[in-house]
């Protein structure tokens, strides 16, 4: 199962990305803790697309044995996990994703990049 939504590069799109994923996860019968984790992580990816890529972006969500969320934007610059001070106001999104996701990564795609994470699927088959 796969679905996607195209969003503009504005702050409202972060909430739209969350609502889109929440709707899909609800349709698929995902347990609440998986929904919460997914929505937190998709917020991080969508926020990065809005703040750093500053281009329209696509959020894709799919599930088979795992749940996979991918954000594709038109900025070819791959994200890098950086060390920030404890009191930094931002910069922890990729650390959060790497600590909560079963897997995550980024790759170049035609016209930009894709950043994704995987969570173990724990809902109905």
Residues paired with residue 72 on neighbouring β-strands, in sequence order: 58, 114
The dihedral through the CA atoms of 22, 27, 28, 33 has a sign that is positive
Task: State the alpha helices, DSSP H only, in 9-124.
Answer: 12-28, 32-48, 93-100
> Splitting the chain (125 residues) into consecutive groups of 10 residues, what average pLDDT does each group show?
92 97 97 97 96 95 96 91 57 80 96 97 88
**What is the DSSP-derived secondary structure letter of residue 83?**
-
pTM of structure: 0.90
pLDDT tens digit sequence for 29-60:
999 999 999 999 999 999 999 998 999 999 99
Domains contained in the chain, CATH given:
2-120 (3.30.565.10)
């Amino acid at each position: 199962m796969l679905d996607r939504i195209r969003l503009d590069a504005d702050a409202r799109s972060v909430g739209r990305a969350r609502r889109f994923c929440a709707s899909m996860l609800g349709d698929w019968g995902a347990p609440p803790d998986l929904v919460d984790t997914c929505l937190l992580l998709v917020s991080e990816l969508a926020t990065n697309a809005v703040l750093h890529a500053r281009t329209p972006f696509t959020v894709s969500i799919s599930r088979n044995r795992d749940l996979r969320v991918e954000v594709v934007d038109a900025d070819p610059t791959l994200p890098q996990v950086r060390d920030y001070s404890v009191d930094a106001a931002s910069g922890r999104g990729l650390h959060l994703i790497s600590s909560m996701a079963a897997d995550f990564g980024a790759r170049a795609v035609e016209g930009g990049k894709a950043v994704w994470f995987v969570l173990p699927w724990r809902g109905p088959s």
